[in-house]
Amino acid sequence: MENFGFSMLWYCIAYTIVTFIGMFHTIFNITVLHMKSMKESEGMGEGYEKTKPWHPLYNIIIFPVFAYIYFKGLNVVTFQNCLWTSLIWGTVTVVVDVFGWVIIKHPWSLSFKEFYVDYQPWITLIYAAIYAAPFIAYGIVLL
């Protein structure tokens, strides 16, 4: 993989943006649309539950943009580089998610069941979007 450091920089920026968009969407639903918070209802609350279908969309828009930025910074973009970027970004996401959303406890953390069973099909679509993002960007770069 060419320029691993920049690849991970753009990945981290994309992951952070997507996470904050999801958080702000939840906060918007609760404060502006007056949906129930997790304090007022079961689970993560209505405000969060209503954002779930949007999560894959955030990812399929944001991650290809940052994969494209990464690829444009390379001297040559190869299919092999695209493949490695996909495998690394997708796998890092799975690992970061299990620690950041399940193992490390915080007000928005979930149990394994909540994250990997109850969050279906959204979590699978999110992971598919992240694994697909470099291929989408690769296709755009080749245009």
Q: What is the C-alpha separation between 67 and 13, in angstroms, rounded?
A: 11
Please state, in angstroms and as integers, the Cα–Cα distance from residue 105 to each residue in 27, 40, 97, 100, 101, following that order: 20, 20, 12, 8, 8
Confidence band (pLDDT; 50, 70, 90) for 39? confident
Please state, in angstroms and as integers, the Cα–Cα distance from residue 15 to each residue in 12, 37, 39, 45, 90, following that order: 5, 24, 27, 23, 11
Determine the pLDDT at residue 69.
98
pTM here is 0.93
Determine the pLDDT at residue 66.
98
Determine the pLDDT at residue 35.
95
Please state, in angstroms and as integers, the Cα–Cα distance from residue 71 to each residue in 22, 64, 136, following that order: 26, 10, 11
Per residue in 53-101, pLDDT tens? 999 999 999 999 999 999 999 999 999 999 999 999 999 999 999 999 9
Q: What is the C-alpha separation between 71 and 137, in angstroms, rounded?
A: 8
Residue 41 has pLDDT above 80, yes or no: no
Q: What is the C-alpha separation between 30 and 121, in angstroms, rounded?
A: 23
* pLDDT (mean) for 8-22: 98
* pLDDT (mean) for 114-141: 97
User: Phi-psi category of 134—alpha, beta or left, where left has phi over 0 and alpha has psi -120 to 50?
Assistant: alpha
Determine the pLDDT at residue 40.
86
